[in-house]
């Protein structure tokens, strides 16, 4: 089996890392404290991954990730991913989640119902927590009952989830903070200590 390639990917939320094998995405790591930590996280998902130039299909997916995280309504549902699901249930959950368009959300309960498991919201949460390709399988678009932004295991937790949802135009849990810049707006450190 060929060794996965990887690259660091500067985005509006920080530097992500992406791994692929052939034309298929096998891992995405959201920004950690620094690039080394992000790469360590990615290599847990894609052992043996080494820096390499991405093939054109993967480059198109990388461009799509960058555009989505910059606020463009990019649909990544067609990006090929390799996910080793723990169960048929987890596979069905990922399929439903991949169908959620940018700017929209479903609750954990709605996803459970969509896969034929009413009452399976916690199991949906576990499947999302094991997602090795966040953003491409947009687990951030799955929210708690009433739109509450809960259950995000990526660095920054729920704050990261809210930030990505605001970038996409789906501010789960209410309006963005008055102190959070809008997508594309410059940040300022005036008055911060």
State yes or no: is 16 an active-site residue: no
Beta bridge partners of 15: 10
Tally Cβ neighbours within 10 Å of residue 136.
Answer: 23
Q: How far apart are the two ends of the chain, measured CA to CA in Å?
A: 51
Count the alpha carbons within 13 Å of 89 in the hemisphere toward its beta carbon.
17
**Is the Cβ–Cβ distance between 143 and 150 less than 8 Å?**
yes
Tokens at 23, concatenated: 């034309």
**Is the Cβ–Cβ distance between 83 and 110 less than 8 Å?**
no
Q: Which secondary-structure segment (H or E) carries 89?
A: helix 88-98
- Residue found under tokens 């309006």: 175
Catalytic residue chosen out of the listed positions 139, 142, 164, 167: 139
Residues recognised as catalytic: 139
């Amino acid at each position: 089996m060929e060794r996965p390639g990887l690259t660091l990917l500067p985005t509006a939320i920080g530097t992500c890392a992406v791994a692929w094998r052939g034309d298929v995405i096998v891992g995405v790591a959201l920004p950690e404290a620094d690039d080394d930590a992000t790469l360590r996280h990615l290599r847990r998902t894609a052992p043996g991954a080494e820096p390499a130039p991405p093939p054109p299909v993967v480059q198109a997916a990388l461009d799509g990730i960058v555009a989505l995280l910059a606020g463009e309504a990019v649909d990544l549902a067609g990006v090929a991913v390799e996910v080793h699901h723990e169960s048929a249930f987890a596979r069905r959950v990922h399929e439903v989640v991949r169908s959620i368009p940018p700017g929209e959300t479903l609750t954990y309960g709605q996803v459970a119902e969509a896969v034929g498991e009413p009452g399976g919201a916690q199991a949906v949460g576990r499947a999302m927590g094991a997602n090795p390709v966040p953003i491409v399988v947009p687990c951030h678009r799955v929210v708690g009952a009433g739109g509450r932004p809960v259950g995000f295991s990526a660095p920054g937790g729920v704050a990261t989830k809210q930030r990505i949802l605001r970038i996409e135009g789906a501010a789960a849990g209410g309006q963005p903070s008055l102190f959070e810049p809008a997508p594309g707006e410059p940040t300022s450190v005036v008055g911060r200590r």
